[in-house]
Structure 1
Amino acid sequence: MTVYYPKRIMLAHTPTPIMKLKKLSAELGAELYVKRDDITGLELSGNKVRKLEFLIAEAVDVGADTVVTCGGVQSNHCRATAAACARLGLKCHLILRTETPAPPYDGNLLMDYLFNADFTYMPRPEYKKNEEIGFESVLEGIRAKGGKPFYIPVGGSVAMGCWGYTRGLEEALMQLSERGIRRAHFVSALGSGGTHAGLVMGRYLLERPDVSITGFNVCDDPEYFYQKTDRLIEEFSEKFKVEIHASRDSHSIIDGYVGPGYALPYPELIETIKMAARVEALILDPVYTGKAFHGMITELQKGRFPKEDPIVFIHTGGAFGLFPQKAEFVF
């Protein structure tokens, strides 16, 4: 089936390669691959830029001059948004959730400052309250100064942003086809839900029931993300007048690897991150990819994934998130 995509602004270095993890594959008796979306571009590294290509195109189309988005103080999405805006000559205003009035310049936050973003810091209760109404007070403040803001919710996980990983899945399937691979299991981290939902929608729109989509939640719980996926599919179908029949049987969400909480590491996770770097020179982060990769390896060893079908881990970036947690690593 031919998929017709909305307008996008080309920001990412794509197609990103699919690489076989040869040593881990031999050790685990499985066919393990990684889709290297961590190298979509140094400043734009990760999955968020695929969503931003569509979202910022929409912002430009409606005449916006300021992109407003939100997230944690070490948000990969916020850093990628700030980088994209700097490249395109747009203003960027970041609303960051933090309990520290002046968080240290480290990791993604350092990059945000380098990209000349503007900031609003909010403690968690205030952030949550304002997020429910789309941070209207911040948008109104920008309008009062003559600006034309365009708001992107957390992670870019809205209907338009989901196109990013529908396109990403199509790209990956073409690359697998060149290797003679048709059936495959796609695995990714689940943080705000847009990447996972885009993959689920892509599976349906591309008419590929022979691939499976699995997400490992790094916060909340599976039911939250099943509901989020259902809601994004509904919004997508309504916005783009496309019927998508993707039941919960068409994808799976695996819990048990969040640890003590979002962005909080634990010993087994740290050991998996160190192992991936040592064995495959694969850099994972303690917030998203590390937890999903640790979950994938553990579940593979438990027999969750059939070893005869290739597994493709979608590396969604996040290397800048390693540095604020460097104290967790002991060598």
Structure 2
Amino acid sequence: MPTMTAATLVGRKGFCSAQLLNSSQAASNIKLSGEEFMSKLLDRRWTLQNPDTKIHQIIVSPVQRQNGVGSFANVSFFNNTEPYLGNKMIDENQGPSFYILRDDLLHPLVNGNKARKLDALFPLMEDYSVTDVVTCGGCQSAHTAAVAVSCAERGLKSHLLLRGEQPEILTGYNLISTMYGNVTYVPRSFYAHRKGMLQSHASLVAGHTGSIVHCNEIIEECFSIRTSERHLKKVIIVNEGASDAIAMLGIFRLVQYLSQDHLLGRKRTLNFIVDAGTGTTAIGLGLGALCLGLPWKVTAVMLADKIDAYREQESRLISDFKRQFHFTLDDHKLNEVDVGIVHWVDRCHERKFGNVLQGEIEACQQIAQQTGILVDPVYTLAAWEMATLLRSKNAEDDADVVMLHTGGTLGLFGLAQRYKSYFHKLKDRLPASE
């Protein structure tokens, strides 16, 4: 291959994405500002045609109900679908409010943070000529469904390892995963050892003549691939929830889009609220904001683990990001940080993950009826609760609250199947009308 300058590599989107940032020689010869680094990092092919998302404003109003039920018994919501954004604030006379990013509308089946985390990954798979994808998730995993649909749309085969037993009736994301992909149910004791489980299954898929690459290795593999290498199958392993540094690139793209002056801008102090499963989305938001020097805070509601595990995940992803993309920002505070870019918090009220309560389901019903927005009782409701809490009380700072809707609403079907009695009661206990 003839010698190429760093600028030449960056301009060749079809060659292999982000090669400038994976060339140690180029990295040692160039120092970039935050905006330059982000621009070059995002100069690639994407899965989503554009990074756009609809932005709504949710106005929170106190109400008095004699027989109020659910988490929001004393408040009501109004959805302003055309908020005035940019440098000016929305009229505060309307009452407390927060913004919501409608990423749940990105795709009928692949939406929310799942679509964002796959945004950069699938073009890289095409660069590497991947034929099969192996990943895992819970029985009602939105991640595995998103991978299955995305693979099928591109002629790839997906192999999905789902935790637990096959339900009596397939519904929700479980049904989507089964319709679009190849599902294998895995005993919980085996699933607990995810790394070995994924590697073992990938080996079965690859056979004797195939090759295997992990998601966090694909950039290096793509950069160093030799044309003489020929495999009948090229299998990629994607971690549970796509918790890899590459997955954060789609989140960075969203951050850059939102920072435009006619949207959220770069000067306003914002507090982003996101529900956290693996925590990858929250960490991507924090890293993206830090790279661009934005005055944005990220608050993540912990729903799948304890704070020590989330901080460990944060440290791992930041380290992987620096290693994979040869972080080259000159005199930038991200050079020193390895944790602390996300504010991890517990859910607003005490509960156990997966224990769906009647009040939470009724809260989802109230939000749907008053705003036309569907959230699920486990994940996105937790973010809505936190956003409402921050805007309903006198906050210590003047930050505007922005909730990222991470999708996942098809999970309601699986929950309704599992908790039939709770959903059956909805017809008898509708929230009081305003």
TM-score by length of 1: 0.89
Preserved contact between residue 98 and residue 387 of structure 2 (Cα < 8 Å): no
Distance 1:47 1:170 in 2: 16
Distance 1:58 1:41 in 2: 20
Post-superposition Cα deviations, 1:38-64, rounded to whole Å, max 9, x if no partner, equal 011112122111111212222222221
User: 1:110 matched to which residue of 2?
Assistant: 175
Selected match of 1:132 from 191, 195, 201: 195
What secondary structure is seen at the aligned counterpart in 2 of 1:231?
A: helix
Q: What is the deviation of 1:259? A: 5.2
Distance 1:75 1:33 in 2: 27
Q: What is the deviation of 1:167? A: 1.3
Preserved contact between residue 390 and residue 401 of structure 2 (Cα < 8 Å): no
Preserved contact between residue 104 and residue 111 of structure 2 (Cα < 8 Å): yes
Count matched residues.
326
Look up the equivalent residue of 2:366 and give its one-letter code. Answer: M
Preserved contact between residue 387 and residue 402 of structure 2 (Cα < 8 Å): no
Preserved contact between residue 134 and residue 198 of structure 2 (Cα < 8 Å): no
- Bigger proportion of residues as helix: 1
Q: What is the deviation of 1:206? A: 1.1
What secondary structure is seen at the aligned counterpart in 2 of 1:174?
A: coil
Change beyond 3 A, Cα 1:41–1:239: same
Post-superposition Cα deviations, 1:110-151, rounded to whole Å, max 9, x if no partner, equal 112222x1112112111112x133611101111117532111
Distance 2:302 2:400 in 1: 21
Selected match of 2:322 from 228, 234, 237: 237
Matched, 1:48 2:114: yes
Preserved contact between residue 255 and residue 288 of structure 2 (Cα < 8 Å): yes
Tell me the C-alpha RMSD between the 2 structures: 2.5
Preserved contact between residue 184 and residue 310 of structure 1 (Cα < 8 Å): yes
Q: What is the deviation of 1:276? A: 1.4
Pairs within 5 Å for 1:21-40: 21-22=58-59, 24=77, 29-40=95-106
Change beyond 3 A, Cα 1:173–1:148: same
User: 1:92 matched to which residue of 2?
Assistant: 158
Preserved contact between residue 287 and residue 321 of structure 1 (Cα < 8 Å): no
Q: What is the deviation of 1:273? A: 1.4
Pairs within 5 Å for 1:62-211: 62-98=128-164, 100-115=165-180, 117-129=181-193, 131-133=194-196, 135-144=198-207, 146-174=232-260, 177=263, 182-208=268-294, 210-211=295-296
Look up the equivalent residue of 1:205 and give its one-letter code. Answer: C
Look up the equivalent residue of 1:19 and give its one-letter code. Answer: H
Preserved contact between residue 199 and residue 237 of structure 2 (Cα < 8 Å): no
User: 1:224 matched to which residue of 2?
Assistant: 309
What secondary structure is seen at the aligned counterpart in 2 of 1:11?
A: coil
Deviates more, 1:165-174 or 1:11-20: 11-20
Look up the equivalent residue of 1:110 and give its one-letter code. Answer: L
Change beyond 3 A, Cα 1:250–1:138: closer
Look up the equivalent residue of 1:311 and give its one-letter code. Answer: V
Deviates more, 1:253-262 or 1:33-42: 253-262
Change beyond 3 A, Cα 1:92–1:180: closer
User: 2:215 matched to which residue of 1?
Assistant: none
Distance 1:172 1:295 in 2: 21
Preserved contact between residue 299 and residue 345 of structure 2 (Cα < 8 Å): yes
Structure 2 unaligned residues grouped into runs of 5+: 1-34, 61-76, 79-91, 209-231, 329-333, 428-434
Change beyond 3 A, Cα 1:202–1:102: same
Q: What is the deviation of 1:319? A: 1.1
Q: What is the deviation of 1:300? A: 4.1
TM-score by length of 2: 0.69
Change beyond 3 A, Cα 1:114–1:151: same
Pairs within 5 Å for 1:282-321: 282-303=373-394, 306=397, 308-321=398-411
Q: What is the deviation of 1:288? A: 1.2
Structure 1 unaligned residues grouped into runs of 5+: none
